[in-house]
Amino acid sequence: MSNIATALSGLQNVSLAIDTVSNNIANANTIGYKSGEYVFATQFLNGSNSSDQPATGQGSQSLGVRRPMTQGAITNSANPLDLAISGKGMFRLLQGSGSAETVDPSAVYYSRNGQFGVDKNGYIVNENGMYLTGYQPTLDGKQITDDLIKNNGLLRMPASNLPGNATTNSTLSAMLDSTSLAFTKSANVSFDPDKATFNNKTTQTVFDNNGNSHTLEVFYRRINDSTLSITSGAAGYTYTPSNSASPTILGTSNVTLNKDTVLRVNTAPVASTLTSTASTTNPISLTAVPSNAGTQITVTTGMKVFINGVDSGATVLAYEAGATSFTTSPTVTVPSGASVSFYASDLTPAVNSVLNPSSFTGVDVAGLAVGDKVYLSSVDTGATITALGTNTVTLSKSITSAALTNSTNITFKHPLAMTLITPEGTEIPVTSVTNKKTSGEILTTTTSQVEVFASIDGKFFDYDDVNTFSNRAALPDTQGANGTGYKTVAKLSFMGGQNIDTIMKDTVSGEPLFKTTTTLTSRLANQAGGNTDMVFNLDLSGTQLHAGAFQMNKSIQDGEAVARLSSVTVDNAGRIVGVYGTGKQQLIGQVVMVSFDNEDGLIPIGKNAFAPSNITGTEQDGVGVTVGRAGTGVLGEIRSQALEASNVDLANELVRLMILQRSYSANSQSLKAIDQTLRDTLQMVG
C-alpha cells in the first residue's frame, strides 16, 4: 500500500506545482507581481528501531512556494502617482474600510505594485484601497519631518487652492553706480518722484492679507559724502552703524571689526633708516643716517618713532645732526634688523584765548595745517582744523570743556593716511595719528551716502498722510520748500562700495552683525470700500555702491496671491510636491520604504500585497527590517510615472508547465502499474 501513497504524493505535489505555474502565467501582466516556484523534497520514513535499514523513498513532499523578489522591468506610465522602485525596498501600506478614520495602524502590508491614485478624501491609495504611508510635512509644507505617526503616516494630496498671504518681508539688493550725480545740499534740489531728482528706482509686487497685489516703488538718491568715526579701543576698531541698522546679534550696538584687523600707514615718513644694528635701548644705533628719498634728514626732538611700520609710542628725545644713534622717551627696544621710521612731531603752541569752543586766537600757527587733529589733555576730541588765520584756528566742531581755559592742554597732531585691513580682505581708507592698537584714537573715513524713498501704489511713506509711515523716517538732506516734503525710509552708508552695516559678520552664523531694515506701514483702500493694512519689513542690507550700471541683484518678498494647484510631482527620493500656478511648491510628504533582509519569507495575502512573517522580522522588533527614505542605505530610488512589471518569464513558465505535465503523466503511470499489480495478485489468490 505504501507504493500507492508514494505515487499519490507525486500526483498531488505535481498538481500543486502546476497550480503555481498557472498562477504565474495568469499574473504575467500584474504590476509588481513576483513569480512563485514550487519546492519539492523527497520523503523518507524511518523505522522505530534504530537498527533497521533506512527505508526507500516514500514519495515527495511540499516545502511550499519560494518567491524570489527579483526586479521586474520598469515601464513608463502617464499617471504622475504611478511609482516604481528601482532597487530594494517595498511600499508601506495600511488597510482601511473606506475612510482614513478606520485605518488600523497595526495592520501594515507591503507591495511592489506602485499603481496609486487619490480617493474621495484626497488620500493616496492603491487600486485595492490601501493607503500609501510616508513621512509627514511641517505645517507650512516647506520641510519633511521624520514623523511616521502623525495621521498614521497617510499621505494626502494638497489643497486645490491656497489662500493668499500678506507680504511680511521684502528684500531688495541693488548695485548702485558710484559715479552717478550726487544731489548736494548746496544745489538745494529736493526729492520729487515726478522729476529727475533721484538716480535710480525699482519696483516690486507685494501682497496684502487678502492676496491682493500692490506695487512697491523704491527710489535711490545719492547725496553728499559724510565722515565716519572709527574708534581704536580695548574692544578693537568700532564704529556706529547706519541710522537704519537693526542688530541681528543680541546686545550688539556697534560694529566691531575683527580683532586681527591691522592698520597700515600709507603716508611716507619724514625720515627713515632701513635697519638698526642691534637689539638695544637708548641710545639706539643705526646703520645709516636717516634719510628721505636718499636725502639725509636731521631728526628733530619730538618726532614719532615707528618700528617695522608700527607706532612704538615713543618720540625722539635727543639726536645729533648726522649721527647714527638717538634716544627716545619713553625707552623702547628695537629688534635687530628692524626698520625705523620717523614721523612729524605733535605741536603744542600757546593758545592765548578761546573766542568760542570752535575757534582759538593768539595761536602760533607755524607748522599747523588744515586737517590737523585736536587733542585735549591727550584725548582725541574728534575735532580738526578747518581754517587757519594769522593767529587764529577754526575747528570742525565745538569743544565744550572747562579744560579749554588751560592752553597747555591743547595739542595739534598731523593726521596720517592709513588703511584698515580686515582678515576677510576688506580695506577701509582712514586718517589718524597712530596705528597703535587700543590707542583710543578716533580714525576718520569718508563714506558715500544714499537716501532711499518708497511708496505703495504711488502713496509715499511719511509724506501722503499719517497712515503711511516708516519706523526709520528721517528728513532728507534737502527737505524742500518751507521744510516740508518727502521723508526717507532709510539712509545707507558705504565704505569701499560695501554697506557699513554688513562689513562684519558673525563668526558662528556668517550673517552680518547688522541689517539695514525699515518697517513700512500702509493703510490702503480695498475693493469693498474698507481699509487694508500692510505692515512689512524692507531689507536693504545687500545694497552695494560700485562704478557700473545700476542693476538689481535680488528682489524677493514672501507674500502671495491665491494659488491654484497645477501639478503634482514625485522625485527620486519619493518627495511628493504640489506645484501651484504662482510657482509655489508645497511638500505633502515623502514615501517611506521598507526592506527585509529575508524578502522571500514574506507572506502573500492577495491584492498583490505581502505581510511579514516570523522569519522576516517586523518593524516593531527592528531585526532584519530597514525603514527609511528612498536612495539611502540599501533602499533603491523611486521613479515617478513608471511601473514595475511582473517578473514572470513566460517562456520559462511554459517550459516548466510542459515538464510538470509529463511528470504528472508519469506519476499516473506509476499509480496505474501499482493498481495492475494488485489486480494480478488478487487474481492469483482467487
The answer to whether residue 419 is domain-embedded is no
At 55, is the pLDDT very low, low, confident or very high (cuts 50, 70, 90)?
Answer: low
Q: How far apart are CA 529 and CA 508, in angstroms?
A: 50
The answer to whether residue 277 is domain-embedded is yes
Q: Residue 8, SS3?
A: helix
The answer to whether residue 16 is domain-embedded is yes
pLDDT value of position 2 = 61
- Higher pLDDT pick, 328 / 686: 328
Together in a domain, 459 and 512: yes
Together in a domain, 227 and 276: no
- Higher pLDDT pick, 8 / 55: 8
pLDDT value of position 59 = 67
pLDDT value of position 517 = 95
Closest CA to 375 of 361, 385, 364: 385
- Higher pLDDT pick, 602 / 406: 602
- Higher pLDDT pick, 625 / 53: 625
pLDDT value of position 402 = 59
pLDDT value of position 48 = 54
Total-model pTM: 0.66
Residues β-bridged to residue 554: 173
Helix axes 650-685, 2-26, angle to 10 degrees: 160
How many beta carbons lie within 10 A of that of residue 228, not counting itself?
A: 19
pLDDT value of position 400 = 66
pLDDT of 640 strictly over 60: yes
- Higher pLDDT pick, 489 / 277: 489
pLDDT of 408 strictly over 60: no
Together in a domain, 140 and 57: no
How many beta carbons lie within 10 A of that of residue 511, not counting itself?
A: 13
Closest CA to 441 of 357, 374, 341: 374
The answer to whether residue 317 is domain-embedded is yes
At 26, is the pLDDT very low, low, confident or very high (cuts 50, 70, 90)?
Answer: confident
Together in a domain, 377 and 468: no
Together in a domain, 464 and 553: yes
The answer to whether residue 566 is domain-embedded is no
- In contact, 223 and 182? CB cutoff 8 Å: yes
Average pLDDT over residues 150-171: 89
pLDDT of 228 strictly over 90: yes
For residue 15 the three cell numbers come to 498538481
pLDDT value of position 666 = 76
Q: What tens digit of pLDDT does each residue of 439-455 get?
A: 888 999 999 999 999 99
Together in a domain, 458 and 530: yes
Q: How far apart are CA 148 and CA 593, in angstroms?
A: 11
Average pLDDT over residues 415-432: 90
Together in a domain, 239 and 174: yes
pLDDT of 282 strictly over 80: yes
The percentage of residues in the chain with a pLDDT greater than 70, rounded to a whole number, is 92
Domain count, the chain: 5
The long-range contacts involving 287-294, CB below 8 angstroms and separated by at least 24 positions, are: 287/324, 288/324, 289/322, 289/323, 289/324, 290/340, 290/342, 292/268
Together in a domain, 651 and 639: no
At 377, is the pLDDT very low, low, confident or very high (cuts 50, 70, 90)?
Answer: confident
Average pLDDT over residues 67-72: 82
The answer to whether residue 399 is domain-embedded is yes
Together in a domain, 323 and 374: no
pLDDT value of position 492 = 96
Q: What tens digit of pLDDT does each residue of 538-549 get?
A: 999 999 999 999
pLDDT of 356 strictly over 80: no
pLDDT value of position 572 = 93
The answer to whether residue 173 is domain-embedded is yes
At 478, is the pLDDT very low, low, confident or very high (cuts 50, 70, 90)?
Answer: confident
How many beta carbons lie within 10 A of that of residue 582, not counting itself?
A: 15
The long-range contacts involving 577-581, CB below 8 angstroms and separated by at least 24 positions, are: 578/141, 578/157, 578/158, 580/162
Which residue spans within 245-309 are E strands per DSSP? Answer: 245-247, 255-256, 262-265, 271-273, 284-285, 291-292, 295-296, 304-307
Which range marks the domain in which residue 175 is found? 169-256+439-557
Residue 63 CB partners (closer than 8 Å, separation 6+) = 39, 40, 41
Q: How far apart are CA 165 and CA 209, in angstroms?
A: 5
pLDDT value of position 323 = 80
Give the DSSP letter of residue 159. P
Average pLDDT over residues 674-682: 77
* Range in 234-238, 322-326, 527-531, 571-575 the model is least confident about: 527-531
Average pLDDT over residues 263-289: 83
Together in a domain, 454 and 548: yes
pLDDT value of position 269 = 93
Average pLDDT over residues 8-18: 74
CA–CA distance from 156 to each of 69, 81, 578, 612, 643 (Å)? 29, 12, 11, 26, 21
pLDDT value of position 403 = 54
The percentage of residues in the chain with a pLDDT greater than 90, rounded to a whole number, is 42
Together in a domain, 658 and 620: no
Q: What tens digit of pLDDT does each residue of 284-317 get?
A: 888 788 888 888 888 889 999 999 999 999 999 9
Average pLDDT over residues 88-108: 87
Q: What is the mean pLDDT of the chain?
A: 86
pLDDT of 419 strictly over 80: yes
* Range in 80-89, 200-209, 392-401 the model is least confident about: 392-401
The answer to whether residue 498 is domain-embedded is yes
pLDDT of 482 strictly over 70: no
Please give the biggest Cα pair distance in the chain: 162
- Higher pLDDT pick, 364 / 545: 545
Together in a domain, 462 and 537: yes
Q: What tens digit of pLDDT does each residue of 585-629 get?
A: 889 999 999 999 998 888 888 888 999 988 898 888 888 899 999
The last residue of a domain, from among 343, 372, 392: 343
pLDDT of 224 strictly over 80: yes
- In contact, 41 and 63? CB cutoff 8 Å: yes
The last residue of a domain, from among 525, 557, 589: 557
The last residue of a domain, from among 291, 319, 343: 343
The long-range contacts involving 254-257, CB below 8 angstroms and separated by at least 24 positions, are: 255/500, 255/501, 255/503, 255/504, 255/513, 255/514, 256/504, 256/513, 257/230, 257/420, 257/422, 257/503, 257/504
